Amino acid sequence: MAKTTRRYYFAARNERTTHGYRINFVNIPQAEASGTTYEETVYYSYRVLAEFLAHLPKDEAALTAYTLNQMPDTEDSNVFYSLVSVTPDFDPHKMVTHFTLPQAPPAEIRRKASKLAQLVAHQSKVASL
Q: How confident is the model at residue 129 (pLDDT cuts 50, 70, 90)?
A: very low
pTM, to two decimals: 0.82
Q: How far apart are CA 104 and CA 11, in angstroms?
A: 21
Q: How confident is the model at residue 54 (pLDDT cuts 50, 70, 90)?
A: very high
pLDDT at 95: 96
Alpha-carbon dihedral angle through residues 77, 48, 42, 91, given to the nearest 10 degrees: -140
Q: If one looks up domain 8-128 in CATH, what number appears?
A: 3.30.160.250
Reported residue count of the chain is 129
Of the listed ranges 24-28, 38-42, 60-64, the least confidently predicted one is 60-64
pLDDT tens column, 82-107:
999 999 999 999 999 998 887 888 99
